[in-house]
Structure formats: C-alpha cells, structure tokens
Amino acid sequence: MKKHLLKRTLLLYWTVSFFLLPFQSFCQEEKKIIPDGTEGQVHEEIDTASGKKVKKNWNTYNLGFTTLVIGAGALIDYAAYSQDEEGKKQMDSANVELKPGFDIRDSRIVASGKLNTKRNITWKAGFMYDGENDDWFLRETGIMVAVPELWGHFFIGRTKEGFSQSKVQLGYAGEIIERHVALDPIPILADGVKWLGFLPRQRIFWNIGVFTDWISKNESFSTYSSQFIARIGCLPVFSEATKTNLHVAVNIRMAHPEDDKTRVRSRPEAGNGPYFMDSGEFPTTKSTHLGGEVYYKNGPWLFGSEFVWHKFDSPEKGNPVFSGGELVASYMFTGESHPYNSLSNSYGFVEVERPVFKGGPGAWELVLRFSTYEVNGGLIQGGEFRRITPQVNWYLNKHLRLHLVYGYGILDRFNRKGSTQFFQSRLMIYL
C-alpha cells in the first residue's frame, strides 16, 4: 500500500514539474558546465558589493568550502504488447505475463559540486527510485580527484564500472530508451576506484577500475563480489568544429560472482516487461567479459555498434558463453548533434537550438536499432532474442523529451519461436 502511494506521489510531482517547465525556460539564458560535468542554467543577478551584473546558476549555491548544484530527473514510461500464439505459449512456459501500463522507470534527486581546494576535486551524490525494483537506493556517489600528473582523474565511490559506451552514457542522455539487452549481465553500479585518463595529442583514452561489494553486498544490483574492468580506446577522428568524431574502444572485465553462483536473465528492452530470457541459477567461480565498440558521428548523424561476450567458468554447465550486441543509427532532422564528453568518453545531452517554449520546433530525431542476445551456451538454454526498434525522439528543450517507440522482437525459447510487438513511450524530465 505504501509503495503504491509513493508511486502516485512521484507521478503527481513530475506531472506538476512538467507544467512548470515552460515558465522555467523563459528565465534561462545560457548553459554552464562545472568541472565534474554537471550542467546548470545561468541567469544574471546584481552583485550588491560591486553593483555589477554577474552570472549565477539558478540551481547552484556557493557554500564557501564547496559549490552545490541540485538537480532531479524522472522517466515515466508506458508500454503495451501484442504477441502471436507462439509468443503467448512461451510466456506461459516461463510463467510470466505481459501487462500493459504506465510505470515510473526512474526518479532521482542528485547533488554535486566542486570543493574549494587548490587541486580540482569534485563530488556527487544521487538517490534514485527504481521502478523496476520498486525501491530507493544510492546512485552514483563519490569524489573525483584530478591528477594531471597521471593524465586524468580518479573517482572513488559508487559509480558505473566503465564497460561499454552505452552503459557508461547517462541513461537520460541516450538516444534509445533502453540499453541493448546483451549488456544485462553487467551491473549498472559498483563500489570502488576507477582511473579515467585521456591523452589529447595521441587521442587515447582509458577507464580502469577495481570494485568490491563490501558496502553493496545486499543491493539488488550487486551480483559480483569483486571485479576488474579496463576500457581502452582512441579517437582517430575528432573535430569539435565540424562535430565529427570516430570512437573505437575495447573492453575487458574479470569478475567473481557473488557466492560462487549467478543467474543471467534479461527483459526485452522494456523496463516494465517480464524476463524473456533466463539461464536459471547455476554455479560459477569466475566470469570474463569482452566487448568492442565503434561509434561515428558526423553532424546530425550518429552510427554505433557494440558486441559483447560473457564467459562463465562453470564445469557443471559446460562453461557457457553468452553473446550479443547492437547496430544503431540516428539522424537529427533539426540539425543538432550529440556532444561527445572526453572525460567519460561517451555521448551527452543534445543541446536544443530552438526550444518549443521559446517558439521553436524543438529538436527531432529518428533512431533505428537492431539488437540481438543469446543466452544459450554449454548446457544452458536460456533463450535467444532479436529485436528491431524504430524510434522518434522529440526534445522540447534540454529538460523535457518525449520518446515514441515501436519494436518487433523474436524470441527463440522452449523449442518455439514467438514474436512480440512493442508499443512504448517515455516522458523524460531532467532538471
């Protein structure tokens, strides 16, 4: 009862925020980015001491020892499904049910800032309501220390491991509403230390991290007791002037599954959908994950591809290997471009040149993705899933976005091939 009340309260809060966004946008004049990448809106105020106009973030405060930036976000989803007879029989065999309806996919409150120190030190803290698990938990929280002597930064705390551009990219900034299904064995968060580096002249970047579960052992996302990850890549082409870049990287991850066992299961790229693929729980003492990624951006065009392999040391189950990936292409009809962040080496928020609330059309994007994932390996038959997804994104301004999605998926499981049509939408609010 309490959880249903919480959902209704969150839905009401974000509905009110939605109607207040047009009024907020009129008083915003330009964007400012503080060193940790946090974005705020800038307006002019009169400095009482000097009488001069100074720029100040509407959501930024100077506390003396640190700045403070406050933000929030919400993802409100709707999904409906249509299956053929074979697909319905597969759901019966899996003992799951496809239920259409609205859901709060994600609702979060975030804070960040920069310490008043000689060395560049920033911090962040996030608290998120996870609609999938119907609970609140601590999101990315920790400190980032600039270490130019080692060509980069060190982050200490709870964060994303760094495996895959799609996984590293902030979910609110992605062009597709859900990450491709083959990334599901990689947890969204981990506790530990990672080193992010970039050599501008050579255009080489890296993300190396070591993580444990000594704090997060009881968290729903914590399915590994320890893990090491390295993501290394380069930018053969990189021009901010022409909005062109070519991003190439490889990923390796070695991990120890929690309690020497694991269970690999995946939703069909629908956050409120049931698990289509499921390996069942099986014993394993070690997992190795390999991945490759290539992205090319040229003005309004963005093309990308990722492929990953997940190998589990489990003699009892024939040491299974699961694999999958995606091909994606997008085009911004209104001329905008997905900006590239050389700190996280991922694509960020689209800057809307003509926002709706200032008389413009907003930004319009067409996306097409093909994804595939196979959880069949060794003695495990967890299913194989393929999906093609055309999607339209309407960015009303930098805070408000609407996704309209159609998907057609084929599941091969239980000695049947069943098809599912997906009808999805998402309202994204990010303050």
Predicted confidence (pLDDT) per residue in 191-247, tens digit: 999 999 999 999 999 999 999 988 887 777 889 999 999 999 999 999 988 899 999
pLDDT of 6 reads 53
**Cα separation, 423 vs 82, whole angstroms:** 8
Do the Cβ atoms of 55 and 42 come closer than 8 Å?
yes
**363 strand-pairing partners:** 395
**pLDDT value at 78 more than 60:** yes
Please report which confidence band the pLDDT of residue 89 belongs to, taking 50, 70 and 90 as the band edges. very high
128-171 pLDDT, tens digit each: 876 666 777 888 999 999 999 999 999 999 999 999 999 999 98
pLDDT of 276 reads 97
Instruction: Give the single-character DSSP code of 145.
Output: E
- Which strands make up the sheet holding 53-57, listed edge to edge? 30-33, 39-46, 53-57
Total residue length of the chain: 431
Give the CATH number of domain 58-430; options: 2.40.160.10, 1.20.1260.10, 3.20.10.10, 2.40.160.60.
2.40.160.10
Least confident stretch, 58-62, 111-115, 124-128: 58-62
- pTM for the whole structure: 0.86
Residue carrying structure tokens 């408000």: 400
Please report which confidence band the pLDDT of residue 340 belongs to, taking 50, 70 and 90 as the band edges. very high
C-beta neighbour count of 280 within 10 angstroms: 12
Counting residues of the chain whose pLDDT is more than 90, the rounded percentage is: 75
Mean pLDDT value across the chain: 87
pLDDT of 431 reads 85
Least confident stretch, 187-191, 249-253, 406-410: 187-191
Do the Cβ atoms of 193 and 169 come closer than 8 Å?
no
User: Between vectors from CA 188 to CA 108 and to CA 82, what angle results, nearest 5°?
Assistant: 85
Residue 102: burial class (beta carbons within 10 Å; 0-12, 13-18, 19+): middle
Residue carrying structure tokens 């709706």: 356
pLDDT of 9 reads 52
**pLDDT value at 28 more than 90:** no
Q: What average pLDDT score do residues 5-26 get? A: 49
